[in-house]
């Protein structure tokens, strides 16, 4: 499932062809939404925003199309007429004079007004989004105190804690902070909580800027220069079970938390 950084990057591409432009055509694949296409056609798209893993495409009548990619959804952006060659099913599309934003394979699509957004069962429970400038390290420390009794391995998948953080980000954040996933916020010292909050913003924002690479830039440059492929340098620990930790040389381990695979260094993240 794409995580917050991937959805934000998709939103950037969608905004490039939609924002400030008139929707010349709107398409919904679902019968329950077909009548809303007529309502939105001819309206101006005012902005495209993300809330964690969800995207909101706003129109000038103060309506928003809510979309969530889940596991299989994928956005395609076209700057000329035509559709991509794919075996996926088109579910939602907006066409403007600058191009088209096409969402394939997603099933969570709704048209909502502001009251509907406030009452939406997914959006209403979302915690702060680390990609928002307002989500400072202090905000994350407050969240850690709020969820102080939860084990970090499970907590970092809870969208009520932080919006947009998913499986690969969880492993990378906990490694960057040097904390074991079985620990709880209440078990951490003030310095450790501060380090974890900083690591959260650092890793999530780096993933957005780099398209999913969480390793620091200097190390990426060295590994690229050595001829290593992207999969070899993309992450510190995620997907690297059995390989050497980039920092201490210990062997990366694979475990499970909250029903999802998790990777850690037993030396850098001692229990």
Supply the residues annotated as catalytic: 2-3, 53, 260
CA distance 234 to 210: 10
CA distance 264 to 271: 11
Largest CA distance in the chain: 60
4 within 8 A of 157, measured Cβ to Cβ: no
For residues 122-157, one letter each, b for 16 or more C-beta atoms within 10 angstroms of the residue's C-beta and e for the rest, the string is: ebeebbbbbbbeebebebbbebbeebeebbbbbbbb
228 within 8 A of 205, measured Cβ to Cβ: no
* Per-residue 3-state assignment (H helix, E strand, C coil) for 227-270: CCCHHHHCCCCCCCCCCECCCCCCECEEEEECCEEEEECCCCCC
């Amino acid at each position: 499932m794409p995580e917050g950084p991937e959805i934000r990057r998709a939103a950037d591409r969608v905004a490039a062809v939609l924002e400030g432009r008139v929707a010349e055509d709107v398409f919904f694949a679902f019968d329950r939404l077909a009548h809303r296409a007529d309502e939105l056609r001819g309206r101006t798209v005012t902005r495209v925003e993300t809330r964690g893993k969800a995207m909101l495409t706003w129109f000038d009548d103060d309506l928003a199309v809510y979309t969530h990619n889940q596991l299989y959804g994928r956005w395609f952006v076209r700057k000329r007429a035509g559709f991509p060659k794919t075996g996926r099913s088109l579910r939602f599309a907006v066409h403007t004079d600058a191009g088209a934003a096409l969402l394939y394979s997603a099933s969570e699509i709704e048209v909502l007004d502001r009251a509907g957004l406030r009452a939406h069962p997914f959006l209403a429970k979302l915690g702060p989004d680390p990609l928002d400038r307002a989500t400072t390290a202090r905000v994350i420390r407050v969240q850690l105190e709020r969820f102080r009794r939860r084990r970090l391995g499970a907590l970092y998948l809870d969208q009520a804690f932080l919006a947009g953080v998913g499986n690969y980000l969880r492993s990378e954040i906990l490694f960057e902070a040097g904390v074991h996933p079985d620990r709880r916020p209440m078990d951490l010292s003030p310095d450790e909580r501060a380090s974890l909050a900083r690591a959260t913003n650092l890793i999530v924002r780096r993933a957005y800027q780099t398209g999913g690479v969480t390793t620091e830039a200097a190390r990426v440059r060295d590994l690229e220069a050595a001829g290593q492929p992207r999969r070899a340098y993309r992450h510190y620990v995620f997907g690297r079970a059995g390989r050497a930790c980039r920092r201490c040389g210990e062997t990366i381990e694979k475990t499970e938390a909250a029903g999802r695979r998790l990777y850690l260094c037993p030396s850098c993240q001692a229990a």
